[in-house]
């Protein structure tokens, strides 16, 4: 059967269509993205402005058209931090559902972390042992760790790249003082969740799974041999830390000329780098490796799993 996953995030509205079957690997057929950067549309009281809701409705309607053209059998529509945390989230959800013509599942932070962890576990396999996952979106940073498919610990903290850019780095380029304010805020925010992760066994693999982390890995990381002759990208904390002052001195227009930094990420990449570096430091991570699978694949895998348990075969 063909499934669609609609991920309404803080930075993009992304529809992924894939052919799936119980026990099989999802095979992507189409990917459609609209860049929104919803954090730009937040009002001072934390609501999404009317302009932002209209842009969101248009992006969702576009995704619905693509899903219909792809003849998906089911569209799994999810929303994460930006909609979840908005003061007018209830009204926004109702308007998204009207544009979609179906219900929307709003994921809480821990569920988002668990689904992303499931995708990473399936990508790396059981032999990878204990995993520690870091995932940075536009609104939140997810952390999960464990040795099974369900993590032993999962947390979501409001340190997403878009949110932190709006709150701490309003100038282009950001000044050193603002970058240090963001770093201090990230450290204090992470302190609240650190104990549940530091008490777990040391991970065999530390994994980053978001587009922001993939971008940073292409900028500051390096390739290394992977399993079965494949190549994997590694991102060292020391290299990331040395790049943060350089990134912060460049205007957004110049940052997008750097390797791996796409135009839709250039405004938020400094905040993403600071949040990631703070998390790696707090969790005593020297290096992480990048996973190509993340939340959307986790949503697909969980749905396939439910099909398997129900005995459905398509």
pLDDT digits (tens, 9 = 90+) for 50-97: 999 999 999 999 999 999 999 999 999 999 988 999 999 999 999 999
pLDDT of 296 over the 90 cut: yes
Q: What does the alpha-carbon distance between residue 246 and residue 239 come to, in Å, rounded to a whole number?
A: 11
Query: How much of the chain, in percent, has pLDDT values that exceed 90?
Result: 87
Rounded to an integer, the average pLDDT of 26-50 is: 93
H/E element holding 122? helix 109-124
Does the pTM exceed 0.95? no
| pLDDT score recorded for residue 230 | 63
Residue 273 to residue 215: CA distance in whole angstroms:
10
> Quick check: 13 pLDDT over 80?
yes
* CA–CA gap between residue 16 and residue 235 (Å, rounded): 26
Residue 27 contacts residue 56 (beta carbons within 8 Å): no
Spatial distance between the Cα atoms of 123 and 120, rounded to a whole number of angstroms: 5
The structural domains of the chain, ordered by start, are 2-106 (3.30.420.40), 125-294 (3.30.420.150)
Please report the pLDDT score of residue 309 as a whole number: 60
- State the pLDDT at residue 314: 46
Concatenated DSSP letters of 37-67: -GGGGB-TTSPBPHHHHHHHHHHHHHHHHHH
Task: Quote the radius of gyration of the chain (alpha carbons, Å).
Answer: 19
- Cβ contact 239:221 at 8 Å: yes
pLDDT in tens, 134-190: 999 999 999 999 999 999 999 999 999 999 999 999 999 998 999 999 999 999 999
Tokens of 3: 């499934």
For the segment 107-127, the average pLDDT, to the nearest whole number, is 95
pLDDT in tens, 298-309: 999 999 888 766
User: What is the arithmetic mean of pLDDT over 2-14?
Assistant: 94
Q: Give the other-Cβ count within 10 Å of 280's Cβ.
A: 22
Provide the pLDDT for residue 24. Answer: 79
Among 134, 133, 139, smallest CA distance to 107 is for: 139
For the segment 182-201, the average pLDDT, to the nearest whole number, is 97
CA dihedral 88, 111, 7, 302 (to 10 degrees): -150
Is residue 245 within 8 Å of residue 157, measured between CB atoms? no
Top pLDDT among 41 and 305 is at 41
Q: What is the structure's pLDDT at 310?
A: 56
Confidence of residue 25 (pLDDT cuts 50, 70, 90): confident
């Amino acid at each position: 059967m063909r499934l669609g996953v609609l991920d309404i995030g803080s930075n993009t509205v992304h529809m992924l269509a894939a052919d799936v079957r119980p026990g099989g690997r999802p095979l992507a057929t189409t990917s459609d993205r609209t860049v929104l950067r919803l954090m730009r549309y937040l009002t001072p009281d934390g609501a999404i402005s009317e302009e932002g809701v209209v842009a969101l409705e248009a992006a969702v309607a576009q995704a619905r058209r693509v899903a219909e053209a792809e003849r998906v059998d089911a569209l799994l529509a999810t929303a994460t931090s930006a909609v979840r945390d908005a003061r007018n989230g209830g009204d926004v959800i109702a308007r998204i559902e009207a544009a979609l013509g179906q219900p929307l599942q709003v994921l809480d932070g821990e569920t988002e972390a668990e689904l992303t962890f499931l995708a990473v576990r399936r990508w790396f396999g059981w032999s990878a042992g204990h995993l520690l996952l870091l995932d940075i979106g536009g609104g939140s940073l997810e952390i999960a760790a464990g040795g099974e498919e369900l993590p032993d610990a999962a947390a979501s903290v409001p340190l997403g790249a878009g949110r932190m850019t709006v709150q701490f780095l309003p100038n282009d380029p950001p000044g050193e003082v603002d970058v240090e304010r963001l770093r201090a805020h990230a450290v204090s925010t992470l302190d609240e969740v650190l104990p549940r992760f530091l008490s777990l066994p040391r991970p065999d693999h530390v994994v980053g799974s978001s587009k922001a982390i993939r971008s940073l890995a292409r900028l500051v990381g390096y390739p290394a041999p992977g399993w079965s002759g494949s190549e994997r990208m590694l991102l060292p904390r020391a290299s990331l830390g040395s790049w943060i002052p350089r990134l912060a001195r460049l205007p957004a227009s110049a940052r997008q000329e750097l390797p791996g930094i796409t135009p839709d990420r250039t405004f938020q990449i400094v905040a993403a780098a600071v949040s990631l570096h703070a998390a790696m430091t707090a969790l005593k991570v020297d290096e992480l490796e990048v996973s190509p699978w993340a939340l959307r694949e986790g949503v697909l895998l969980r749905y396939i799993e439910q099909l398997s348990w129900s005995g459905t075969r398509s």
